[in-house]
Structure 1
């Protein structure tokens, strides 16, 4: 079984999480912590050239990890531990569909955070046209404002995150593909918003801008792609005298059943997922013992599925709270005490 690879990303996450937790990310001191060590040469150059952008990148990682847990809360593998250990970050030992999701949502989080910061004008390195005008006809005029698209965020995320995939192997090819999917989803979810200007409510001039959807929508879109992720294999294409040059590139990924390249919008994985029923650090599993399940659900969060057939315990909870409160002139409030009884089902 392949052990987790120690890449330049590991030290990067150590520095990023230290920066986030010490509230230094907004200043030069935070940027210096991030840029101190553990980066590739290309990442280090970007770090020193755009420290504010790299600090925002750390915020994007934190947002992505939280969204990963929110989207997969009812599954056996629910993102537990992802981002908690700075030495690992979101690098899972196995090249499973869960690993594909973590890379995609991390790239999406970084892209989203950088794009929002760019739109707010918080990043000196973000170059965009603050105002441009175009016409679609003689009677209608548009004025475009702001930097709400995700071009800068996607470009910076690609250059920075992809730079850590130094090995020309199948796992790196998979990671790069899923990084691209995450960036692509954010870019596709940019929307146009407009406001009309004119006499008596007319729309002679419309001011329009591009805006990002909330990251929750991005997470939901990636969760749907997780369900439809493609099992792929790697093909090494060696061609005569050019074999050495070709071998230095990442191998080509093709869908296992069809032999066709996966679509650019599809998540891909190399290994089938384990059951994730029992704790096993070698596969990145925290197990499902002690997890809360839904007794009436037939889905992934149902007790039969989530508890892996081990059964579950039912815990009765009794809570007291103030209710039916009334204000009396002047000046007091009287409330009744209401008792609420609930049941929790916990996996054995």
Structure 2
């Protein structure tokens, strides 16, 4: 699977129960803005795409599938503790993936405006998350399970773990504003956290681990091509949940319809010697709640 497709699939998995669930993202030109508005949803989309490219390239690097990258003998670092029982071997796969992802994705941001600054920042957050979650794994070598020699290496995290961490950043994304304002035509415009009060002074620069956005998000309740919202009509909701996937939140107060379903499947299958399989027939009844 291509890195961007992997990222969009995981985006949908992480936000499956939310009003905005990444539906429609990635179906257009990947060289334009993925999301038309500079919302926190756009921030999450750019970050997870950048993380997906970084992770895919790092994985290919670790397997030796990329020229000029991999765990060649001369690139390995090996150290032992004084008693000679510890050995560490590893390469800079995540660093290579991050550098390549930066050259590939950041090259799209040519305008040097506030939206480009936002996208560049969120791209960096995605790359950084892959590198942050790299962890050390070890394996013992010895007779009868003893640890006469322990080899350790740096292992890439699963992409699902990276996406889940970015999902937490998405929930705490910060709204920013350009400073100095574009109207001043001052050089070196950068982003600062937007203050809640107009006269509260200049906000701090966003941290390197924070997702940032420029515009408040729409409700995503109704279809709106301008904002990229598909609406929540026809979405399946959870009647008993109080969270994002609950019918009260997901259906935006419009209510829901209950659909009774009956499924007939084979179950409790048994193998008989020789050579046949017999199964029982199981009937499953369930209710699905669909937003109006």
1:142 aligns with 2:87: yes
Aligned-residue RMSD, C-alpha: 2.2
Contact 1:231 1:256 in 2 (8 A): yes
Matches within 5 A, 1:280-319: 280-319=224-263
1:165 corresponds to 2:109? yes
State the TM-score, normalizing by the size of structure 2. Answer: 0.90
Map Cα deviations across residues 259-298 of structure 1 (whole Å, 9 max, x no partner).
1111110101111100011111101101111111111111
- Which of the two has greater helix per residue? 1
Aligned position for 2:191: 253
Shift in CA distance, 88/341, structure 1 to aligned 2, threshold 3 Å: farther
- The answer to whether residue 20 in structure 2 is matched with residue 82 in structure 1 is no
Query: Over residues 58-80 of structure 1, what are the superposed CA-to-partner deviations in whole Å (9 max), with x where a residue is unaligned?
Result: x2111111111111111111101
Please give the TM-score of this superposition, normalised by the length of structure 1: 0.76
The answer (yes or no) to whether the contact 2:237–2:245 under 8 Å persists in 1 is yes
Match of 1:7 in 2: none
Is 1:345 paired with 2:283? no
Q: Which runs of 5+ in 1 are unaligned?
A: 1-19, 21-58
The 1:89/1:298 distance shift into structure 2, 3 A limit, reads: farther
Q: 1:270 aligns with which of 214, 223, 232?
A: 214
Q: Kindly state the Cα deviation for residue 201 of structure 1 after the two structures are TM-superposed.
A: 4.0
Q: Which residue of 1 aligns with 2:278?
A: 334
Residues matched between the structures, number:
283
CA–CA distance in structure 2, aligned partners of residues 68 and 90 of structure 1: 16
With a CA cutoff of 8 Å and minimum separation of 6, indicate the structure with the bigger relative contact order: 2
The question of whether the paired residues in 2 share the 8 Å contact of 1:253 and 1:261 is answered with: yes
Structure 2, unaligned runs of 5 or more: 196-201
Q: Alpha carbons of 1:299 and 1:203: their partners in 2 closer, same or farther (altered >3 Å)?
A: same
Q: Deviations over 1:119-157 (max 9, x none)?
A: 000000326544331123234331414x36400000111
Checking the alignment, whether the CA contact within 8 Å between 1:83 and 1:90 is kept in structure 2 is: no
Q: Is the 8 A contact 2:70 2:93 kept in 1?
A: no
Corresponding residue of 1:321: 265
State the secondary structure of the residue aligned to 2:66. coil
In 2: Cα distance, 1:330 partner to 1:128 partner: 51
* Distance in 1 between residues matched to 2:290 and 2:181, nearest whole Å: 51
Tell me, yes or no, if the aligned pair for 1:90 and 1:103 is still in contact at 8 Å.
no
In the other structure, the counterpart of 1:224 is 168
SS of 1:320 mapped into structure 2: strand
Which 10-residue stretch deviates more, 117-126 or 193-202? 193-202
Matches of 2:62 and 2:288, distance apart in 1? 44
Deviation at 1:169, TM superposition (A): 1.1
